[in-house]
A and B are shown apart, each in its own frame.
Chain A
Amino acid sequence: MAAINRDDVAHLAQLAHIEMSAEELDRMAGELAVIVESVKSVSEAAGDDVPATSHPLPLTNVFREDVVGHTFTAEQALSGAPDAYEGRFKVPAILDEG
């Protein structure tokens, strides 16, 4: 498997929506390279015949009755929002029109 480098980290940080300084990218790239190296053996541990486990104790078709359960008022839902306006979340521009 490929090693992780500074450019990878910069790209991943962008995907993950985390702004990072140059110094942070350098440090993170070094640390992640060590971690990725140490988990590499995992890819060689199991053959193709081993099924994947996504859930330790899988349950299937977990449904409930189709009735209205507990719901929050708009006020409750907005109570922790950094900004709200007329009962809605208020966000900065979605698109960069500059």
Chain B
Amino acid sequence: MTDSTELIRSSAAALADRLAAREVSAVEVTQAHLDRIAAVDGKIHAFLHVNTDEALAVAAEVDAIRAAGGAAAAELHALAGVPIAVKDLIVTVGQPTTAGSKILEGWHSPYDATVVERLRAAKMPILGKTNLDEFAMGSSTEHSAFGPTHNPWDLDRIPGGSGGGSAAAVAAFEAPLALGTDTGGSIRQPGAVTGTVGVKPTYGGVSRYGAIAMASSLDQIGPVSRTVLDSALLHQVIGGHDPRDSTSLPDPLEDLVAAARTGNVDGMKIGIIKELHGEGYQAGVETRFNESLELLKAAGAEIVEVSCPHFKYALGAYYLIMPSEASSNLAKFDGVRYGLRVLPEDGPMTIERVMAATRAAGFGDEVKRRIILGTYALSAGYYDAYYGSAQKVRTLIQRDFAAAFGKADVLISPTAPTTAFKLGEKLNDPLAMYLNDVATIPANMAGIPGLSLPGGLADEDGLPVGIQLLAPARKDARLYRVGAVLESLLEAQWGGPLLDRAPSLVELVETPVVEPVETLVGTKEAK
């Protein structure tokens, strides 16, 4: 193992320790990741922009502060010098923010998102911006206007979505940490299919100021990593109240890192959600899920079954609420204030026609579908039947969760019904694509936190399976407490992290001719 291989495979927590001990410099760590991006991202396509100069400058600054010692060095954040990737839905000064859309291609934000300000305050070098489904609308990253991201476990397969770029970046060791956003599962489902960890915090637990909004009552920024502890460390950096986000919770942040470090499930009640496994779930997903339950039971947890009878309406209600809010949020892309402007080919040159031509050229099919669906659900005559009914279902889902958390401290389910499917497989069947989020959507509807961690590989295809933990609102610490235990039990069984079994990708880099090329051609034809 070369030094740089060791650096890129280290957890953020391990890197932080070695940086603090000055065994390695922040520039070395950052450069190792930039080198890895240069070597493998041609095939993975996790990044839409690589922020080389700024990342190295921040790293050099951290090294200089550490070298000088004194108060400034003592005050450095524990993660200072640990690099991170940022989903390209979150605005950053000095780098383009595209939201994966042609309509924002090349756009630069005049301000930083609050979470980005917090990364800068912690002096974490930002490696670049990661790929996503356009405006975070999708479950495969195939709806990105700039081409799909490829799953590091099998380049022919989807990395999940919408945050496939962030998940693939950490799975391919291009970054130890990343930021994601989760509206219906966009952090957790990519985590599941790439064998990584992702957390959707309690709604309002992390500021959304500077996250380009899709569905404002559902969207949440959260951490993406390879270990449970690393997500807790990052969550602690970005979490907490922000007066610039009026939905930000004023509650003080719990000690999430301590929860991850002192994981314990002895005497805890863990509820299996009857409606979120079994029929419709791939056999290998079900097997790994049941194994995790056995491990938790052996560690002293009591497994109970809970029923959430209204979850069967969750997907339908989500596909009314989300497009309704998205159609409203995306009205601001009007060809006047930012981004693309396209002029109509003929006829009168009015602002309305310019707007229609701009939005026709700038938005992809999935975005158009959702805007039209949302416009429909909000129209006079349909509002009560659609949006109004969906909001009532939301109440029923919250009541289901309240009853379930009366019987259990945390709930558990598979994160996604299947492992990663082939690129192109569901692209022409929007409904089949939407079904990927069936297990993750209820948490967004109720605003509760959820965590996905790797549960092993499915026997039938050798691809990662995700285990989802859910906790009551404001009880994010429980996810880390239980997640850390399950992670360590599983890794003891596997003899190391699951990602040790992923393809090294080195062969792709050294012989980039035969297989990957076929893969890419196949993808294009499938589209």
Majority secondary structure, A binding face: loop
The 8 A CB mask of A77-97 against B (1 = contact, 0 = none) is 101111100000101111110
**A42 contacts B335, C-beta separation under 8 Å:** no
Looking at the complex, which of B105-113, B181-189, B292-300, B509-517 is the stretch in contact with chain A?
B105-113
Whether a CB of chain A sits under 8 angstroms from the CB of B310 is yes
Q: How far is the CA of A96 from the CA of B340 in the complex (A)?
A: 22
Of the candidates A18, A45, A82, the one whose C-beta lies within 8 Å of that of B310 is A45
**A46 contacts B392, C-beta separation under 8 Å:** yes
**B316 contacts A92, C-beta separation under 8 Å:** no
- Closest residue of chain A to B341 (Cβ to Cβ) is A82
Looking at the complex, which of B74-82, B225-233, B265-273, B365-373 is the stretch in contact with chain A?
B365-373
**A93 contacts B369, C-beta separation under 8 Å:** no
Of the candidates B109, B341, B392, the one whose C-beta lies within 8 Å of that of A45 is B392
**A52 contacts B320, C-beta separation under 8 Å:** no
Q: Please tell me the size bucket of the interface on B.
A: 35 or more
Looking at the complex, which of B18-26, B46-54, B279-287, B349-357 is the stretch in contact with chain A?
B349-357
**A12 contacts B375, C-beta separation under 8 Å:** yes
Q: How far is the CA of A19 from the CA of B106 in the complex (A)?
A: 23
| B-side contacts of A55, CB under 8 Å | 217, 247, 447
- Closest residue of chain B to A90 (Cβ to Cβ) is B336
Q: Within B429-461, which residues are at the interface with A (CB < 8 Å)?
A: 430-431, 434, 444-448
Q: How far is the CA of A36 from the CA of B108 in the complex (A)?
A: 37
- Closest residue of chain B to A75 (Cβ to Cβ) is B110
| A-side contacts of B109, CB under 8 Å | 80
**B375 contacts A20, C-beta separation under 8 Å:** no
The 8 A CB mask of A11-49 against B (1 = contact, 0 = none) is 011111111100010001001101110111111011000
**A59 contacts B249, C-beta separation under 8 Å:** yes
Q: How far is the CA of A86 from the CA of B152 in the complex (A)?
A: 50
**A82 contacts B393, C-beta separation under 8 Å:** no
| A-side contacts of B410, CB under 8 Å | none
Q: How far is the CA of A15 from the CA of B331 in the complex (A)?
A: 10
**B110 contacts A42, C-beta separation under 8 Å:** no
The 8 A CB mask of A40-83 against B (1 = contact, 0 = none) is 11110110001111111101001010000010100011011111
Of the candidates A16, A53, A70, A92, the one whose C-beta lies within 8 Å of that of B371 is A16
**B351, B385, B389 interface centre (most CB from chain A within 10 Å):** B389
Q: How far is the CA of A45 from the CA of B385 in the complex (A)?
A: 11
**B396 contacts A12, C-beta separation under 8 Å:** no
